[in-house]
Chains A and B, each alone.
Chain A
Amino acid sequence: MSETLLAEFQVIGQRLSKLDAPQKVTGRTVYADDMHIPGLLVGAILRSPHPHARIRSIDTTEAERLPGVAAVIHAGNVTQRRFGYGQDNIPLKTDKVRCIGDEVAAVAAVDDETAKRALELIKVDYEVLPGVFDPFEALSETAPVIHDERVDITGNISMRWDFDHGDVEAAAAEAAVIVEGDYSAPQAAPAPIETHVVIASFDPNGHLTVWSPVHMVFMYRKALADCLGLDWRRITIIQPPVGGSFGGKIDIEAHDFITVMLAQKAGRPVKLAMTREEEFIGARTRQPIHFHMRTGADAEGNLLFRDAEVVSDNGAYNAWGSHAMLVAMNTITSMYRVPNSRIRCAVVYTNKNYGGSVRGFGNPQATFAVEQQMEELADALGMDPMDLRLRNANQTGDITPQGLEITSCGLSECLEIVRRQSRWDERRGKMRQRNRGLGAAAYIHVGGGARIYGSDGCGAMIKIDDSGQVTLITGASEIGQGSETVLAMIVAEEMGVPVSAVAVINSNTDIKPWDVGVHASRTTFVAGNAARMAAKIARDRLLETASAVLGAPADQLRIRDGIVEVIGEPGRSMDYARIVRRRLLHEEGSVVMATAFYDPPTHNQDKEYVGNISASYGFGAHVAEVEVDPETGMVKLLNLWTAHDVGRALNPMTVEGQIEGGTAMGVGLALSEEIVFVDGRVAAPNFHDYGMPTAVDVPRIEVNLVETIDELGPYGAKGIGEGGIIPPPAAIANAIADATGIRPRAYPMRPWKVKHWIDTNERSYVIVSTDRSEKRESN
């Protein structure tokens, strides 16, 4: 796009405050738990205290007798169907519990205290079974079988993700250098500050309304109907403002169904608010994944192959986490140009809380392995890791082995920026005496939607009323990321009206048009394009009327700051709201309305996992600088330089907000966050021990926005909701390696682990072609 056109933007590119910010800073935003509904009961769930047990019987008699209890439910007295991939889950567990936190019974009562007392009065007779908590042990033939009812699988392997491209063995035979090692990502939590809160209410006609901070509302509605046997045309989902999600609230979970069943049974509205402890033991987490990886290159540093054996620790059931390999696979096959790749992945059940879809979805995990091997490989080749990356960097026009079509790519530029800002060339590898090091990591991630359903679309509607207020009714959800604001900006830009004239309606399934939901960094791209299309149509309608009123052809007209004018004749102009009224307020008048549906031109992956699932791909690079105390293993993160290819920053302030927030989450993953299990029990289900970074733990994050102006993105924008979280674990691991010479094997890189690696001089294997008989250790 030319400079002159750039200057034409009225709204796009401005650092606009979020439209909902004044509500939020005054405490006036009404989140789910702030809502008041007459007659509201409190719901609570009885969860399994055992990681693996058979339910012999449930006795709820005493709980039912407790005054103030309106409903007690369990598998024996409700109608429910199975849900989840492979239909391996059910809201209230029937014969078996498979992890601590499994939902066994639930109550609705007049208040919290009564609900809690009622739960204590429910007697469940369990036959405790041996559990298996380690995915590698779960693979053994003697391991307890967790889903014995699933006849479609063998043992505990819930599913496989196997991929082949080219000939890895032939490539390995040719490689000058091969590095080989293990890399593990832990179970971590999305941990939004607001817990899950759901309210369900049936009206006397049997119409169900659910208030839930979920952000795939249409799928949520369908899942509710399917599981509970309800008519989905008679369900309204209302999304109150969301107090953070990061994927944690994306999907329907057992407690959602349970809240509805309680409301059904009690005949009154029910609210269920999960506690923080329940969030850690009973809400979805980030999938723990273990990689055994090999990467090979020729003597010049051209990548030849990547080969990964992957064990994905599924926990007790298939939720979204079982599909984290969908994204991890993209990174293994398509991060940098890799001509040959092979993946063998088993998704393995264990008796633990199970993984969902958390920001970055599989990508921080895979990048931790891929990007450490890039630096190991560079060191083994005697090359600078940045040079190795640049040599192999994806470029515009590439089609990767999985069929990802790279139509715009700022990867090299991002790498160059962080290289320069961190003074990489002068400092990397030269600060070990001071226990300091630099490490880099880059990423590829979907940036133009992600087609994993039949449609990846989003609907948009625009109406303009007699006041001139422009209302955008969008399928997209606001979850704090600022989608309302950016969509209002797009509409304002396209229509030439002030942002203050645009209202955004987005929270009610009765009103808003269909959308897949918020995931895969897709909202700005997909919902943005839909809003822009609808706005264009609405503008053209306005101009059609204006043409008659001003007596000039429509293509000679434009709207700026709300004034419709004949181009080059500023005197011939009229306020757009008056044009609307001219069109509306007479016999046979009409209202300005427009609808659009945007579905990116992408394809589902085929059975071989090949298909261009996104209309655009985002790239970025980080460099971390750390100081490691070799005595304690303590890692101090000193600096973090980041550069992200955002296509175009529609609102640089909110883009930075996404990157900074994501990066801070990545820092948490890298250094401190982990849900630690002891025999299937979450050791400390609280914020105090979990390790979420505070203001003192996150350094100032340097953010550089690289604008590649994507061909299909709205005004050239790509999705950027997840980019920030992906590189930090890998970049920080590489920085630790630079500072110490050891190779981190797993995150979070807590002091005791780093100390252990230093003490044991942890290294990967390197095979050099001149001496294939011998594996030698290197960093």
Chain B
Amino acid sequence: MLVELKVNGFPYRREVAPDTTLLTYLREVLELTGTKWGCLTGDCGACTVLVDGEPVVSCLQLACQVSGHEVTTVEGLDTAGELNDLQAHFVSNGASQCGFCTPGMLMSAEALLRNNPDPSEAEVREALSGNLCRCTGYNKIVDAVLETAKARAMAVSAVPDLSGSSSSVGS
């Protein structure tokens, strides 16, 4: 059956078997292997991607059910090779060791930050509790997410508020 997805901004149309999971569609059909798998039973979170901005374990999601929707994978986070801030904080905090949980972890964290720009540590831990990491003990991952939130908040408050100001810019 025909499954059409917009993945990281690009449209794809591929004919696949009806029982093809989103994970298989991404990894095997589109060869976007950034998304990982560790269980195929929904328990490890390594396969987490965003569907219309919400985190989904792609191993349990049939591709045909999300046909027509927008999918973001780890490959869609950076811009032309430049890391986004969350990725950069993962790097600078040592939040990735073997890296196998990292793509899923990033997607869960990105979804959290989009929905809750100022999470508490407990909220970060809760949001990541579906993503197993065997390497890091989670502390450095949690720090990376909290630092990103802080940096984003500062970036927002640093943008000058022009709405009420008597600027010389003509309207």
User: Taking beta carbons and an 8 Å cutoff, which residues of A are in contact with B?
Assistant: 15, 17-18, 20-31, 33-34, 36, 191-195, 241-246, 275-276, 479-482, 653-654, 656-657, 660-665, 686-688, 692, 694-696, 698, 700-701, 724
Contacts and interface: CB of A to CB of B under 8 A. Distances in A.
Contact of A193 (B27, B101, B138): B101
Contacts of A21: 90-91, 94, 96, 99
A701 B137 contact: yes
Contact of B134 (A17, A31, A244): A244
B73 interface: yes
Nearest to A15: B94
28 contacts: A18-B94, A23-B99, A25-B91, A25-B96, A25-B106, A26-B75, A27-B34, A27-B75, A244-B97, A276-B40, A480-B97, A657-B135, A660-B136, A661-B97, A661-B136, A664-B137, A686-B39, A686-B43, A687-B38, A687-B43, A688-B41, A692-B134, A695-B124, A695-B133, A695-B142, A696-B125, A696-B126, A698-B139
Interface in B72-87: 73-75, 77-78, 81, 83, 87
B137 A663 contact: yes
Contact of A479 (B39, B77, B98): B98
Given A18-B94, A193-B101, A193-B132, 6 more contacts: A25-B87, A27-B34, A193-B46, A243-B99, A276-B44, A661-B137
Interface residues of B, number: 55
Contacts of B152: none
A18 B99 CA distance: 11
Contacts of A663: 137
Nearest to A668: B134
Given A686-B41, A694-B129, A17 B99 contact: no
A194 B97 CA distance: 13
Contacts of B139: 660, 698, 700-701
B133 A193 contact: yes
Contacts of B46: 193
A275 to B, nearest CB: 7
Contact of A194 (B36, B93, B137, B138): B36
B161 interface: no
Interface in B100-140: 100-103, 106, 124-126, 128-140
Closest 10 CB pairs of A and B: A27-B34, A480-B98, A24-B99, A243-B100, A664-B137, A660-B137, A27-B74, A687-B43, A34-B33, A193-B38
Contacts of A698: 137-139
A26 B78 contact: yes
Given A27-B103, A36-B31, A688 B137 contact: no
Contacts of B73: 27
Nearest to A692: B132
A194 B98 CA distance: 9
B65 interface: no
Classify the secondary structure of B's interface with A. loop
Contacts of B5: none
Contacts of A696: 125-126, 129
Given A17-B94, A695-B142, A29 B129 contact: no
Classify the secondary structure of A's interface with B. loop
B97 A481 contact: yes
A481 B134 CA distance: 12
A692 B129 CA distance: 11
A276 B39 CA distance: 5
Most buried by A among B31, B128, B129, B136: B136
B38 A276 contact: yes
Contacts of B141: 695
A665 B90 contact: no
B140 A660 contact: yes
A195 B78 CA distance: 27
A244 B98 contact: yes
A17 B81 CA distance: 18
Contacts of B83: 22, 25-26
B35 A246 contact: no
Most buried by A among B39, B91, B138: B138
Contacts of B78: 26
B128 A31 contact: no
Given A193-B44, A686-B43, A661 B135 contact: yes
Contacts of B87: 22, 25-26
A504 B161 CA distance: 48
B97 A18 contact: yes
A192 B36 CA distance: 13
Nearest to B74: A27
A24 B96 contact: yes
Contact of A664 (B81, B106, B131, B138): B138
B100 A687 contact: no
